Structure 1
Amino acid sequence: MKDKIKHVFFDLDHTLWDFDKNSGLTFEKIFKINNLDVELSTFLKVYEPINLDYWKLYREEKVTKEALRYGRLKDAFNAININVEDDMINHLSVAYIDHLTTFNHLFDGTLDILNYLRDKYELHIITNGFEEAQERKMDNANIKSYFKTITNSEMVGVKKPNPKIFNFALDSAKASPTESVMIGDSLEADIEGAHSIGMETIYFDYRNLNNSNGYNRVTTLKSIETYL
C-alpha cells in the first residue's frame, strides 16, 4: 500500500474527533444549563446506541436531519422513564449542536499521525456529519489546516456508503481510487463504501470489536504507520 498511495481520506467523528467524549461533556453542560435532573451516565448508556441506530437510518435516507435530532433524544428520555416536553427536546436538540463544538477532544495520536502523514500524502476528510458542525469541530480542534479537501454529505446530497460521495471527494482531490485510502471507524459507511469503488481501506476499530471482515484493521491511530 505504501508505494502506490498518494491520497489519504479520513472520516472525522469516531476516527479523529472523539465524538463520544465530546458528546458526553456537551450533554452534561446543556442539562445543567436547562436545570434537567438527569443522571448522565444512565442517559448516555441508552443514548449512544440509539444515536448510532438513528445515524444508520439517516445514512439510508429513512429519517431527516430534524427527525434524527429530535428522535434520538425523545427515545433516550423514554428509555430511562424521564418525561421531557417536546418544546424542551427541540430546544435541547439545537443547544446540543451549538455546544458540541465547544469541546474538542481528539483521539490519542491524532496530531501525531497527521503530522507523520502530511509530508508524504495529501490528506482529506469525508464525513456524514452536519456541515455547520463539522467545520467548527475542525476549526476549534486546530486540525482543519491538515486537509486539502473536506467533503460532507450535505454538499453532495448523499451519505456514505453511497459511492457518489466517495467519487465526489476523489474528484475534488483530483485523485484516483487506486492511489487513495479511506480510514474510518464504520465498516459499513467508511470501509465497505470506499472498497466498493476500488479504494484501499483501513478500518479504525477503536472499540476493539475485532470484526474487520478481512479488511486492514488498526485499533490505534499510530498503528496506521504499519500501512502508510
Structure 2
Amino acid sequence: MTNSKYKHIFFDLDRTLWDFNKNSEVSLHQLYRDYQLQTNFGSFLFFKSRYEYHNGKLWNAYYQDRIKKEDLMYRRFYLTLKEAGNDDLDLAKEIAQDFIDISPLQTATFPNTLLILEYLKNKAYQLHIITNGFNEVQGKKLKNSKLAPYFTEIITSEDAGANKPTTQIFEYAFAKTGATANNSIMIGDDLTTDIAGAKKVKMDQVFFNSNKIKHKDKPTFEINDLLEIKQIL
C-alpha cells in the first residue's frame, strides 16, 4: 500500500544507488594501467589511497566555495602525481579528462536498486534525483546504469547553484518538481549532506546506512538494505 503522506521521493545518487566506490576503483584501475602509473606509485593501492586523500580534501574545499569545479577535477590528479614526484600539470589534466569520460560508463549499483525503483514506480510515487555531482557525469551514470527511466527530475547542485546540505538546493528541487517538504522524503547515504539538508527544510529522511556505521544522528528512518524501503513506502 502506498504511504499516502508522501508523493515525491528524492534519492541521492552516488553511494546510494550508483556504487561510487566500486565504479571509481574500476575507473582508477584503468587509468593506472593506461598511464603506467606503477612507475610512480609502485602499487595501485598506494595510488588509489593518495588520490582519495586529495580528492576528499578538494571536495571539502569545493563545498566551502574555496575552489572551483574545474580546478577540483584536475587538481586531485595533479596533487596525487606531484606527491609521487611527477610534477606534470598537462598529464594531470589529461588523466582528469579520461576519468570524467570513463567513470560514468561504469554500471555497478547497490544490491536491489532496480528492484526497489521498480516497486516505487509501480506505487505511482514521483521519483527524483538530488545530487552534488557534476552535470556532465551524473546524467551519463543514470543512463548507462539503466536508472534514468525511473526518475522524473534530476536535480544537480550545478543547476541549483548550491550544494546539499544548503536549503537552497532543496528549495530549488521543490520549485522544479512541485513537491513540498511535507509530501516528500529524502533517501541518502550521507548524514552531513543528505540527512542534515533534508532536516533543514523539515523534510523526512531515510538514512541508507549500508556499512552500518555507528552514529548519534536521529533520521526519520534508517535502513541497511534498499529493499527495507518497502517497510516505509
TM-score category, normalised to shorter length = over 0.9
> Is structure 2 residue 14 aligned with structure 1 residue 13?
yes
Deviation for aligned residue 1:84: 4.8
Identity of aligned residues (%): 35
Q: Cα RMSD between the aligned structures?
A: 1.8
- Give yes or no for the alignment of 1:64 onto 2:68: yes
Output the CA distance in 1 between the equivalents of 2:179 and 2:132. Answer: 20
Shift of 1:207: 2.5
AA of the residue aligned to 1:226: Q
**Match for 1:100: what amino acid?**
S
SS of the residue corresponding to residue 177 of structure 1 reads coil
**What is the one-letter code of the residue matched to 2:111?**
D
Shift of 1:70: 2.5
Residue 26 of structure 2 corresponds to which residue in structure 1? 25
Q: Give structure 1 stretches of 5+ with no counterpart.
A: none
Aligned length: 227
What pairs up with 1:1-228 in 2 under 5 angstroms?
2-37=3-38, 38=41, 39-78=43-82, 81-120=84-123, 121-211=125-215, 213-215=217-219, 216-228=221-233
How far apart, CA to CA, are the structure 2 residues paired with 1:49 and 1:207? Answer: 20
Q: Is the 8 A contact 1:187 1:212 kept in 2?
A: no
| Per-residue deviation, 1:156 | 1.4
Given that 1:8 and 1:122 are in contact with CA atoms closer than 8 Å, whether structure 2 keeps it comes out as yes
Q: Is the 8 A contact 1:123 1:147 kept in 2?
A: yes
Residue 201 of structure 1: SS of its match in structure 2? strand
Using the alignment, how far apart are the partners of 1:5 and 1:57 within structure 2? 35
Distance 2:214 2:223 in 1: 10
TM-score, scaled to structure 1: 0.92
Cα distance in 2 between the residues matched to 1:76 and 1:205: 30
Matched letter for residue 153 of structure 1: S
Q: Which amino acid aligns with 1:218?
A: I
Indicate conservation of the 8 Å contact 1:203/1:212, yes or no: no
Unaligned runs of 5+ in 2: none
Q: Which runs of 4+ in 1 moved over 4 A?
A: none
- Note the C-alpha offset of 1:63: 1.3
Cα 1:196–1:47, aligned 2, differ >3 Å: closer, same or farther?
Answer: same
Q: Which deviations, in whole Å up to 9, do the C-alpha atoms of 1:129-159 show, x marking residues without a partner?
A: 1101111111111110100111111111111
Change (3 A) 1:220 1:156: same
Rounded to whole Å, the distance in 2 between the matches of 1:52 and 1:226 is 34
The SS at the match of 2:105 is coil
